[in-house]
Amino acid sequence: MDRNQTYKGKHVLVVGLAKSGFAAAKLLTSYGAHVVVNDRTPLEENPQAQSLVAEGFDVVCGEHPLSLLNTSLDYVVKNPGIPYSNPLIAEAVKRDIPVITEVEIAGEVAEAETIAITGSNGKTTTTTLIGEMMKDSGRTPIVAGNIGTVLSEVADASTKDDLLIAELSSFQLMGTIHYAPKIAVLLNIFEAHLDYHGTLDEYAKAKGRIFANQKSTDFAVYNADDEKVVSLVKGTQGVKVPFSTTQDCPTGGCIKDGVLYFKGEKVISEREIVLPGKHNKENILAAVCAALLGGAKKEQIVAVLTSFTGVKHRLQFVEMIAGRKFYNDSKATNILATQAAISAFEQEIILLAGGLDRGNEFDELIPQLKSVKTLILFGESAPKLARAAKDAGVPTIMMAHDVAEAVPLAYEASNEGDIILLSPACASWDQYKTFEQRGDIFISAVHKLK
């Protein structure tokens, strides 16, 4: 279908503004859709809604009235963060009105091909790596999605000379119907966002949407070491391209005898790669597979892997003060990410952790906590983390009000040669708007120590 005709004349309710809803409303209108916008924040406190009203949009603010569904709607476009338990969304589903996210719109309007990346951990690092690797490939890489830039907005502006590289969350993918990236990457599945999805199976099913509509001319890049990922890729029509850090993958990527291979050909020696952490080997393998499938030059891939040291808030080296190295891993919003961060170091670790209590315990973190000499906790989940730390035999457990208070406590408890690591194992929303804000406060507190 002509991308300019997909939404022409359709009646669409956009629920939830923020960046994605605001962009979706304007984009759909530009394609001839009849759009009504609904946001929970009252109009007088809502600059985005005010801007849309000034442009002539029909905007309803302050609540999510079910009466908005009493018209002939073709779609509800939902902000990814709004759960399906929301009464308006639940009623739309009950009435069989398609509920989509702006990622679905992106797939309809984009002229560029897409490499899409999802997984419980490592998405941003892998997405960033692919973006860097695709430079000088003959197509212009455009990095977007969950990484910060609204995907549908850049998709609309894309051409066949571009390549969209999209980081996608389970929230975004759950709201897709026909979305089909040329190259889909699934890194791993770990218990996360159960407050949103309800069960691990539902969460995994949402992640698996990345493969659902692929054709035989598409590629499905997947982690052959993750059983849940392997089960999700089975149904795809795309060409399966596995990667593994533990087994030979002649049709994909692997590491053998200290060398990274793709389809049996050497790409780079492990010792030349500068990105730290065992967990990053999987991210690197996934990125190499996707980039080479996308037409990247091997020379560019090698150049990236010999210079790329990481992404902000993802095991980011911040500073060395009096022999102590400070690392910001604020993006570690679940247990698996913190397990990987702790395992990346051989030195003594002072760990700063805590945040939103999502109802889970932290028993799975106990093996890694055994190598932590001091744990400084903050946020709602602090008591649960403290219980796990006691079971792990962590010598010193301290409480802080927040990250800013935790940093000087960590410094006082440390010795020369120690690693001071912010890796919360929890979301930030109990105290901070985003994990980025939490990480920035950590960085600021470290700099104040100087």
Asked if pLDDT for residue 18 goes beyond 60, the answer is yes
pLDDT of residue 56 exceeding 70, the answer is yes
Instruction: Tell me which residue of 132, 21, 37, 22 sits closest to 81, measured CA to CA.
Output: 21
Distance from C-alpha of 92 to C-alpha of 446, rounded to nearest angstrom: 48
Taking residues 40-58, what's their average pLDDT? 96
Range 88-117 average pLDDT:
96
Q: What is the pLDDT of residues 284-319, one digit of tens each?
A: 999 999 999 999 999 999 999 999 978 888 888 899
DSSP 66: G
The mean pLDDT of the chain is 94
β-strands 75-78, 253-256 pairing: unpaired
* Residues 71-82, mean pLDDT to the nearest whole number: 93
337-341 own/partner pairs: CB under 8 Å, 24+ apart = 337/120, 337/121, 337/423, 337/425, 338/365, 338/368, 338/423, 338/424, 338/425, 339/364, 339/365, 339/367, 339/368, 340/121, 340/277, 340/278, 340/279, 341/277, 341/279, 341/315, 341/421, 341/423
- Per-residue pLDDT band at 1 (split at 50, 70, 90): very low
Q: Which residues are annotated as a binding site for ATP?
A: 119-125
Q: How many helices (H) and strands (E) does the chain have?
A: 17, 20
Mean pLDDT across the stretch 101-116? 96
How many other CB atoms are there within 10 angstroms of residue 78's CB atom?
28
DSSP code of residue 329: -
Q: What is the pLDDT of residue 394?
A: 97
Across the range 220-227, mean pLDDT stands at 97
Q: What is the pLDDT of residues 371-415, one digit of tens each?
A: 999 999 999 999 999 999 999 999 999 999 999 999 999 999 999
- Contact present, 271 and 278 (Cβ < 8 Å): no
Is the pLDDT at 59 greater than 90? The verdict is yes
Asked if 203 and 192 touch (Cβ cutoff 8 Å), the reply is: yes
* Residue 47 clears pLDDT 90, i.e. is over it: yes
| Percentage of residues in the chain having pLDDT higher than 90 | 86
Mean pLDDT along residues 210-218: 98
Q: What is the pLDDT of residue 274?
A: 86
pLDDT at 4: 61
pLDDT of residue 317: 85
Share of the chain above pLDDT 70, in %: 98
pLDDT by residue (tens digit) across 333-376? 999 899 989 998 889 999 999 999 988 999 999 999 999 999 99
Checking if the pLDDT of 180 tops 50, the result is yes
d(CA 142, CA 197): 29
What would the mean pLDDT of 260-289 be, rounded to a whole number? 93
Binding residues: 119-125
Structural domains of the chain in order of their starting residue, each with its CATH number? 11-100 (3.40.50.720), 103-305 (3.40.1190.10), 316-449 (3.90.190.20)
SS3 379: coil
pLDDT exceeds cutoff 60 at 3 = no
Q: Residue 2 — pLDDT band, cuts 50, 70, 90? A: low
Residue 73 has pLDDT above 80, yes or no: yes
